Amino acid sequence: MLIADPDAELRRRVAKLVRELADDAGLDVALDQASDGTMALAAIADHRPRLLVSEVLLPGLNGLRLLRRIRADHGKATAVVFVTTMNRDTDRYWALRNGAHAYVTKPFEDEQLRQRIRPLLLEGGDARPERML
């Protein structure tokens, strides 16, 4: 699993949440972190994670461009959840239209993110994505 966000504290928070979910499900999940889109793309090419949790507003390569590259290069093998400050309906629409599985806006409740991530940890890219507006 990969967490891509320029905010180190948010990466730690999401990592803790994912570890708890993985422990509850009896899964062994390797966690990688990236602070920008270019680092995230390299980590995806190297490790092929089943799940990416990412901010849309990433330095270097923004989250939507990163998503398009992932889909072009790896198909749906990596499920993508955006956790972002971009809170307009059109932002959510385009993220889901381009292949994101879920879209959560900041600030968020941990339980809200758990509900989006849990099925993706278990099923990966085969999990059903959120519906578009």
For 36-66, write each residue's pLDDT tens digit.
999 999 999 999 999 999 999 999 999 999 9
Contact status, residue 54 vs residue 80, Cβ threshold 8 Å = yes
33 φ, ψ (degrees, to nearest 5): -135, 150
Those residues with Cβ within 8 angstroms of residue 123's Cβ, 6 or more apart along the chain or in another chain: none
Residue 4 has pLDDT above 70, yes or no: yes
pLDDT of the residue at 122: 83
**Torsion over CA: 35, 56, 72, 28 (sign):** positive
What pTM was computed for the model? 0.92
Higher pLDDT, 9 or 121: 9
* 56-80 core/surface letters (b: 16 or more CB in 10 A; e: else): bebeebbbbebbebbbeeeeeebbb
For 95-131, write each residue's pLDDT tens digit.
999 999 999 999 999 999 999 999 998 876 555 666 6
pLDDT of the residue at 130: 64
